[in-house]
Structure 1
Amino acid sequence: MDKSAALLLALAAMFLWGSWANTLLLSRIRFELYFLDYILGHLLAGCVLLQDAAPSLQVAAEDPSGAVVFMISALAGLLFALGSLLAVASIDLAGMALPTIVLLGVEMALGVPFLLLVEGWGSAQHMILAFAGVIAVLAATLLDGWCHWSLQKDCTPEEQESQPLCFGFTSSQFSSLSFWSFRATSVAAGSFARSLNSTAVTFLTHGSALPVSSVGSQQVLTAASGTIRAHKQGHLGLSFAAMGGLCFAIWPCISSCVEGQTQWGNAFTTQLNASAFFFIYALGALLAALLLLPPLCRWPLHSGVSLNFWANYMELRAWNHFLGLSGGFAHGCGSLLSLQAGRVLGNAVAMSITRCQPLVCATWGVLIWGELQGAGTKTSCLFASMLLAFTAAVVLFLIAGLDG
């Protein structure tokens, strides 16, 4: 595979990462109930290239260090699953804008240097381009938060009163496309997107919870009461966002290590190819989901009510399971394509391009979910600036890939 083909794979991965969240919006269920099918979708994606993974898995299984390689690869999947659940909890506790900034900021500010440290810094030009891309992403993320706050001011007084108060800021509706995708634009959802998931959440407004009914097995998420408690939850939410970003920053480094893509040579006597790593990674994520989801539903990290995971999961419609599998399959294929591209470009470049998926998700949000409804000129300009900053980041990472 040449560099041009690898760059196309990374761009395709970015598109898939930015598109899977549409299935979650359509499913209209609590994230924990969606998450198991989502992870199973990752495993299905891993099975697509199982024929390519099988020889590498067999060699590793016969090597004395193979067990360690398998355990470390599974740990990467656990980190991904844990990071996803922490991201959801953080945005429920602290609103949209700040956790989005913290989550993506930590992931990019630490993830790219970590990968460059593991894989090698490369030429001076390559390093400068990579860090310039990181700066562009951080700028886009700040513009994202500014755009969100500006949109709140564009709302009518009636709309502002209906917005939830959390951590001293008026957070966007829990139902927006950007919330469900964790790292996407935090512009508040339009009326259609809000109504789509409004039955999933109750929000704190002027110190009282708004009663909202559940749909089927979908449980009502309730907001905390009291300003002091809201502030404490906000701080906890930002901590969860930072921990989630750290999980997302670390797991690609594990991929580089087990695939032998380090500046120190092979870390183990046996290595896995990208397909084999992803298959074990997906198994690790599935194991983490099976272990974490029941207790996290019983004792939620966020403000949601306690529920019996398996009882509610079994009550889901076939359509909900299909959407979860489809979303996980799309995201898993994106991860797999990014890892394949990383074999040529290095994971530092390939994963950085893929992480610019808010560019895609923001486009879906505007074109399909009406996320800029009611936006003024200033908000629209901020949104356009955010898109330009993400586009600049993608271009910088593309040039870095060609230079490396």
Structure 2
Amino acid sequence: MFVVEDRGGAVAQMLASLFLLGTWPALLTLLERRGRLPQHTYLDYSITNLLAAVVLAAALGQAGESEPDMPNFFTQLTQMKDNWPSVLFAMTGGIALGLGNLISQYAWAFAGLSVTNIICASLTVVLGTTINYFLDGINRAEILFPGVACFLVAIFLGAAVHSSNAKDDEEKLSVTSRVVELTSDVADTDKAKLLPNPENMENYDYEDEKTSGQVQPGTAEFIIQVEKRRSIKVFGSSRLLGLSLVFLAGTCFSLFSPAINLAINDQWHALRKSVLHLGVYTAFFYFSVSCFVLGVSLKLWFLYRLMAGVPASTIAAYARDWNGRHWALLAGLLCGFGNGFQFMGGQAAGYAAADAVQALPLVSTFWGVILFGEYRRSSRKTYLLLTAMLLTFAMAVTVLISSAGKMKAYNAHAKFIVSLHKSYSMENHSCN
């Protein structure tokens, strides 16, 4: 079994993991905004994501000679009849992770990358890390729980940012040149704020486009233009819908970490005393497979059904859809290798580096602002709330890293479970 021993190299791998796992959601969001059906995108993504995860698990878990107290990957696969309770825990974690990823794909459309990933990461800590604390008791509680409180504040600030930004968009749309101009002569029944009807947006003609030749991010025209192209229509939806999806996804993500922790460390003593605990790479394989099976099964079901306003499709249509397929396949590779780097780096870097992966929503926020113009031309209130949310989240991650204690490994295989205990990336991006 391959073990990373160089601490400097491990930190570099963790930083690479941070970048990769913070980038792949932006690629899926980009395809959705270009009109590609989310069912098609997720199926492509799932294939390469599972491929990357399995290749890494097989190659690294099989490296070196198999030892009695540390069997390699393929040897442990043949021992399922003995370690099946741990296998079930790992697969349960994969199911929770798969559900979280599926929900996130829609949450990104309704709430944006920044708010979605920060609230999900914060929920992962508030729920998942707290459960792991009681399972292991290795973090310093006097530091950990104030950090959890910071994450909780970040959750409320994220909800406020989403609400404020939605209100800003409504105000922009209400004063576009195509909205009926309100005057004192207009009937009272016509004085409500009017939003463009998504079904009639093809008939819109924008003055700004005529004069400048290009719609500027953050304008009402830009918002309507994006809505016309995207596959998941968000106009007219309730603000609570986006937040509900975000909180549901975050809750699913928070359950993965305790499940994989139990799969590897067996704190509930589900295994017989003579049975070796499940190795990290083997656990990685089982949850990756269960996550893949769940995600593909549901997406194939969604292909033939209307979901969140997304039109139905077919297997044949998916096979013919090459528009942006390379980006979806790339996203799967980024996620799979990002998780692999996290596993490898965590072996030597320990808790501090592993917890740093919690900062990946900051990378997603960067892509959200640069690629998609999130929060452009928003109100001062929205900018203040956004800044407060990012600062609070960054402070919470720092406190979380500071709370790390020394891992009391339950077995030789759990040498770097530190990279799993509180990692949002494995919960939100190991969607294999």
Counterpart of 2:147? 133
AA aligned to 1:329 is L
Counterparts of residues 282-297 of structure 1 (less than 5 Å): 282-297=288-303
Counterpart of 1:320? 324
Q: Conserved in 2, the CA contact under 8 Å of 1:101 and 1:142?
A: no
Structure 1 pair 19–100 and aligned structure 2 pair: CA distance change class (3 A) = closer
Counterpart of 2:160? 146
Pair member with larger Rg: 2
Counterpart of 2:101? 84
Structure 1 pair 346–288 and aligned structure 2 pair: CA distance change class (3 A) = farther
Matched, 1:332 2:345: no
Matched, 1:310 2:315: yes
C-alpha displacement of 1:8: 5.1
Structure 1 pair 90–320 and aligned structure 2 pair: CA distance change class (3 A) = closer
AA aligned to 2:74 is Q
Q: Conserved in 1, the CA contact under 8 Å of 2:168 and 2:379?
A: yes
2-structure distance, mates of 1:365, 1:98: 10
Q: 2:59 aligns with which of 44, 51, 71?
A: 51
C-alpha displacement of 1:18: 1.5
Q: Conserved in 2, the CA contact under 8 Å of 1:56 and 1:271?
A: no
Counterpart of 2:78? 62
Q: Conserved in 2, the CA contact under 8 Å of 1:78 and 1:285?
A: yes
C-alpha displacement of 1:157: 3.8
CA deviations over 1:320-360 (Å, ceiling 9, x no partner): 2221121122122233333445556777x766543332211
User: Secondary structure of 1:368's partner?
Assistant: helix
Structure 1 pair 145–102 and aligned structure 2 pair: CA distance change class (3 A) = same
Counterpart of 1:209? none
Q: 2:130 aligns with which of 110, 113, 134?
A: 113
Unaligned runs of 5+ in 1: 163-169, 174-188, 206-222, 224-229
Structure 1 pair 100–323 and aligned structure 2 pair: CA distance change class (3 A) = closer
Structure 1 pair 372–399 and aligned structure 2 pair: CA distance change class (3 A) = same
1-structure distance, mates of 2:12, 2:270: 27
2-structure distance, mates of 1:151, 1:308: 32
Structure 1 pair 204–321 and aligned structure 2 pair: CA distance change class (3 A) = closer
1-structure distance, mates of 2:78, 2:167: 62
C-alpha displacement of 1:362: 1.1
Counterpart of 1:178? none
User: Secondary structure of 1:290's partner?
Assistant: helix
C-alpha displacement of 1:86: 2.8
1-structure distance, mates of 2:382, 2:244: 28
2-structure distance, mates of 1:294, 1:156: 35
Q: Conserved in 2, the CA contact under 8 Å of 1:90 and 1:99?
A: yes
Q: Conserved in 2, the CA contact under 8 Å of 1:56 and 1:272?
A: no
Counterpart of 1:356? 359
Matched, 1:38 2:37: no
C-alpha displacement of 1:149: 3.2
Structure 1 pair 148–292 and aligned structure 2 pair: CA distance change class (3 A) = closer
Structure 1 pair 95–65 and aligned structure 2 pair: CA distance change class (3 A) = same
CA deviations over 1:218-239 (Å, ceiling 9, x no partner): xxxxx6xxxxxx69xx57x766
User: Secondary structure of 2:72's partner?
Assistant: helix
Q: Conserved in 2, the CA contact under 8 Å of 1:259 and 1:274?
A: yes
Unaligned runs of 5+ in 2: 63-70, 177-194, 199-216, 408-432
User: Secondary structure of 1:355's partner?
Assistant: helix
Q: Conserved in 1, the CA contact under 8 Å of 2:94 and 2:256?
A: yes
C-alpha displacement of 1:160: 4.4
Counterpart of 1:371? 374
2-structure distance, mates of 1:91, 1:399: 30
C-alpha displacement of 1:30: 2.2
Counterpart of 2:258? 253
AA aligned to 1:35 is Y
CA deviations over 1:43-97 (Å, ceiling 9, x no partner): 23211352222353222233232444444433322221122223345676x7669
Counterpart of 1:218? none
CA deviations over 1:232-280 (Å, ceiling 9, x no partner): xx57x766544432321122222222323x5567856233433332233
AA aligned to 2:73 is L
C-alpha displacement of 1:203: 4.3
AA aligned to 2:258 is C
2-structure distance, mates of 1:37, 1:350: 31
1-structure distance, mates of 2:103, 2:38: 11
1-structure distance, mates of 2:244, 2:227: 26
C-alpha displacement of 1:288: 1.4
Q: Conserved in 2, the CA contact under 8 Å of 1:79 and 1:248?
A: yes
AA aligned to 1:255 is I
RMSD: 3.7
2-structure distance, mates of 1:365, 1:297: 27
Counterpart of 1:183? none
User: Secondary structure of 2:372's partner?
Assistant: coil
Structure 1 pair 309–109 and aligned structure 2 pair: CA distance change class (3 A) = farther
C-alpha displacement of 1:159: 2.2
The share of aligned pairs that are identical, in percent, is 22
